[in-house]
A and B are shown apart, each in its own frame.
Chain A
Amino acid sequence: MELILSLAIGVLVGSGVWLILRPRSFQVIVGLCLLSYGVNLFIFGMGRLVSGAAPIMPKGGFVDPAAYADPVPQALVLTAIVISFATTALFLVVIMASRGLTGTDHVNGRERGQ
């Protein structure tokens, strides 16, 4: 499982980095989305991988923490997803405004050599 998760994160982040270095705004925004998926998986993995364990412990008495998943990274991922979703949406609006004002989808607002 560790290998699959690391490969998935690696592929997502690698593609994301390549895409945000591209000149078209659509590529940049897809790249940012892929990067944020990779980062979210990474945060999730930082809580150690356990399968089939609940993140919420029952109330009262001693419970064995090893039988439960770490809830903190899951809470962090939730926050990170919401925030990156919102900021990406905002970026999309700005990019569309830029497309409308300049007539091109190049990130510099004008085509190369123009």
Chain B
Amino acid sequence: MNGGPAHLIVLPILIPMITGAMMLLYDERQRRTKLGFGLASCLVQLVVACLLLTGAEGTKAGGGNAIGLYLLGDWPSPYGIVLVLDRLSAMMLVITGILALPALLYSGAGWHQRGQRFHALFQFLLMGLNGAFLTGDLFNLFVFFEVMLAASYALLLHGSGRERVGAGVHYIAVNLTASLLFLLGAAIIYGVTGTLNMADLATRIPHLSAEDRPLVHAAGAVLGMVFLVKAGMWPLSLWLPRTYMAASAPAAAVFALLTKVGVYVILRLGLLVFGAGAGASAGFGADVLIWGGMATVVFGMTGALAAQALGRMAANLTLVSSGTMLTIAGFALGQGDAVMLGAGLFYMLGSTAALAALFLLAEPMSREQGAAAVLALSAELYGVDLSEDEPEPPDTGVVLPGSLTIVGFCFAACALMLAGLPPLAGFLGKFAMLAGAISGVGDAALSPARWTFVALLIVSGLAAMIALVRIGMQSFWASEEDLPAVPVLELLPIVALVVAGGIVLTIEAEGVMRYMQRTADALLQPQIYIHGVVTAPPVAEGNGG
């Protein structure tokens, strides 16, 4: 390993950490400068993530699966703390970059003025996210989870107000309890197997003695609870809609990614530890994921149909997206279904971008009549004077003519993406998932779980379409007065997200789908990952690394 490229892996953690720490030194008067530095940091992270992505594709000779390993402190691999880069984590890093940049840009239109330290917290959130995607160690995963969560607590409260603080109390209590469960699970795993390195753990699972196996299963179930709380599986997701709709628009847009962290860890840890090579433990928990994921889809779908405001609807559609992914993770874990998993990853990319755009759209689309309605409702509920809760008037920056038309087009594109209708990429993802579910592997094709999933995929698309069209008609056609024009700084990030998640993904669908399919194949062959991590020698003896 020589110099630059080897150290590239640690950059997605270092860049936001240093940027965020530097921002803490300056007070809020430097907000514009901070915005500039934050955007630059996000841009560099996106570039690094793309470089890592091309690196993770590896060479043709290596089967297209290069595992990048970074030994922090240069301890030999199963003992020290490692960062591991494979196709899945590289892909998640790129998604983070694609979502973070527009969300931060959007905050420049006004949100970053309505509270303290927005930019530093945003960078720390990114650090936690990137770290969670890169780490190859269970306890380090806990640490990065906490970095991410601590930043998300503060970002949720950004802008303050009664609704945010109320949602924050519930969100923090749920997540603190989940963190304690995480510690319990990790401690049992360490106590039984003697390792916290995920790859090393995977090598030890098949050789467990009969009396130790139930303990590891218990630890797996406890850890699974933690990640399912994050991913929002019903009934662990009751906190999610209120929290996501209370968060400020740019924070909610990155929160759309937080549920995907739960999905990522389930995929990574589940397929590694309880995958096909796990002996008697293979496929542990797959049925919970399959049926729980489908229950989540039903819950999110019902919530979206019942929602009256776009924020709540977007939060419920987040549940639909993550429930779909959980079901697919269950099929991958239980039946080794690579085709569906690849299609699911493709769907996740598109739907996460569309959801983030929807969270950003919620504000310009409901600015006047929405705020008035909310104020009237809370006045009725709490019987208080509204002077302190009154939202500040939006910054009227540069306004383009016809900005509402653009907003309308973006909204329509998001609706098409989330409902999975042609011509955008959402359709391709859904179609590939349906094709995978129906063709199946061997005689598993006819199982009732698969047919239920096929039906749910179609019905949830229909529900998303009905719900979003209803909101769209209310906002654009049936409102009595026109919506206020949208400043360019708000419009640009939404358009960027729609272009990236909708149009680029549709045009480049073939290449992206091929990448996802290879990723799915690699995920179902954990020995590639294990070999890349456990057998690697220390970087350098003698020349100081």
A94 touches B177 (CB 8 A): no
In the assembled complex, which residues on chain A have CB atoms less than 8 Å from the CB atom of B291?
none
Residue A30 is within 8 A (CB to CB) of chain B in the complex? no
Give complex CA distance A95, B171 in Å: 12
B162 touches A94 (CB 8 A): no
B179 touches A94 (CB 8 A): no
Give complex CA distance A66, B291 in Å: 46
Residue B476 is within 8 A (CB to CB) of chain A in the complex? no
Partner of B149 from A46, A87, A88, A109 at Cβ < 8 Å: A87
Partner of A84 from B160, B166, B180 at Cβ < 8 Å: B180
B170 touches A107 (CB 8 A): yes
A86 touches B165 (CB 8 A): no
A42 touches B187 (CB 8 A): yes
In the assembled complex, which residues on chain A have CB atoms less than 8 Å from the CB atom of B190?
46-47, 72-73, 76
Partner of A91 from B146, B172, B196 at Cβ < 8 Å: B172
CB B77 to nearest CB in A, in angstroms, measures 16
Give complex CA distance A56, B177 in Å: 32
Residue B375 is within 8 A (CB to CB) of chain A in the complex? no
Give complex CA distance A95, B172 in Å: 10
Residue A69 is within 8 A (CB to CB) of chain B in the complex? no
Give complex CA distance A83, B182 in Å: 13
Residue A63 is within 8 A (CB to CB) of chain B in the complex? no
Partner of B153 from A80, A94, A98, A108 at Cβ < 8 Å: A94
Taking chain A's interface residues, is the majority helix, strand, or loop, or is none over half, making it mixed? helix
CB B165 to nearest CB in A, in angstroms, measures 5
In the assembled complex, which residues on chain A have CB atoms less than 8 Å from the CB atom of B149?
87
Given A42-B187, A43-B187, A87-B149: A79 and B143 within 8 A (CB)? yes
Partner of A39 from B139, B168, B183, B196 at Cβ < 8 Å: B183
In the assembled complex, which residues on chain B have CB atoms less than 8 Å from the CB atom of A35?
177, 180
Residue B5 is within 8 A (CB to CB) of chain A in the complex? no
Residue B238 is within 8 A (CB to CB) of chain A in the complex? no
CB A13 to nearest CB in B, in angstroms, measures 9
Interface residues as binary, A3-40 with B (CB distance below 8 Å gives 1, 0 otherwise):
00000000000000000100001001000100110011
Given A42-B187, A90-B150: A32 and B176 within 8 A (CB)? yes
B191 touches A108 (CB 8 A): no
CB B449 to nearest CB in A, in angstroms, measures 33
Q: Which of A34-77 contact B (CB under 8 A)?
A: 35-36, 39-40, 42-43, 45-48, 72-73, 76
Residue B25 is within 8 A (CB to CB) of chain A in the complex? no
CB nearest to B145 among chain A residues: A83
Residue B507 is within 8 A (CB to CB) of chain A in the complex? no
A102 touches B180 (CB 8 A): no
A47 touches B184 (CB 8 A): no
In the assembled complex, which residues on chain B have CB atoms less than 8 Å from the CB atom of A20?
173, 177
In the assembled complex, which residues on chain A have CB atoms less than 8 Å from the CB atom of B160?
97
In the assembled complex, which residues on chain A have CB atoms less than 8 Å from the CB atom of B162?
101-102, 109
In the assembled complex, which residues on chain B have CB atoms less than 8 Å from the CB atom of A86?
150
Residues in chain B within 8 A of chain A (CB atoms): 139, 143, 146, 149-150, 153-154, 157, 160-162, 165-166, 168-170, 172-173, 176-177, 179-180, 183-184, 186-188, 190-191, 196, 382
- Can you sample 21 A-B contacts with CB below 8 Å? A20-B177, A32-B173, A32-B176, A43-B186, A46-B187, A47-B191, A73-B187, A73-B190, A76-B187, A80-B183, A83-B179, A86-B150, A87-B179, A94-B169, A95-B169, A97-B165, A98-B165, A98-B169, A101-B162, A102-B166, A109-B165
9 closest A-B pairs by beta carbon, nearest first, are A46-B191, A43-B187, A109-B166, A46-B187, A98-B165, A101-B162, A39-B180, A83-B146, A91-B172
